[in-house]
Amino acid sequence: MAFGRLERSNAPQPISDINMTPLIDVMLVLLVIFIITAPLMVSAVKVNLPQAQGGQALNAPQFIAVSVDPAGQVYVNEQPFDQPAVGKAFEEAAKRNPQTEVQLRADSTVPYGQVVELMGLAQKAGLSKIGFVAEPRPTAAP
């Protein structure tokens, strides 16, 4: 003889929430597709631009090229300078145009302190735009 409960329990209620799992799966697949195809779309059109002779642009940015060789010798626009003369050259460039950019080319063996000193001289003279020039690493051919 089997005994059971006399009470009846209610049936489980239906779930009224949206199942987000399929939506998330679709969005992740679309994300992967866009990640893969985006670089291909950028380089898909190769254009050979025409060449023309023209005057120099009126708003061409001015710059002063500063180079430091492995021995520590400083060159400003390919002319050798000593430390006080470099500061004066920076001040003259700042008087002509305070937006002049300093393009700094330092050998990889030059101590960091000397590069910082040149940056300090440029900022003291009023030149706040300093660009570091470097060569890109060669890529291996496949």
What is the pLDDT at residue 48?
A: 55
Residue-wise DSSP of 2-47: ----SS-PPPPPPP-S---HHHHHHHHHHHHHHHHHHHHHHTS---
The one-letter amino acid at 33: I
Q: Average pLDDT, stretch 3-21?
A: 75
Max Cα distance, the chain (Å): 112
Is CATH 3.30.420.270 the right assignment for the domain spanning 63-132?
yes
Joined together, the tokens standing for residue 116 give 């910082």
Handedness of CA 70, 76, 80, 84 (dihedral sign): negative
Q: Where are the domains of the chain?
A: 63-132
Contact between 90 and 121 under an 8 Å Cβ cutoff? The reply is yes
What is the pLDDT at residue 44?
A: 44
Joined together, the tokens standing for residue 73 give 């010798």
What is the four-CA torsion angle of 61, 62, 64, 65, rounded to 10 degrees? 40
What is the pLDDT at residue 43?
A: 47
The lowest-confidence range among 36-45, 92-101, 107-116 is 36-45
How many CB atoms sit inside 10 A of residue 85's CB? Answer: 13
pLDDT tens-place string over residues 57-90: 555 568 888 888 888 888 888 888 887 888 899 8
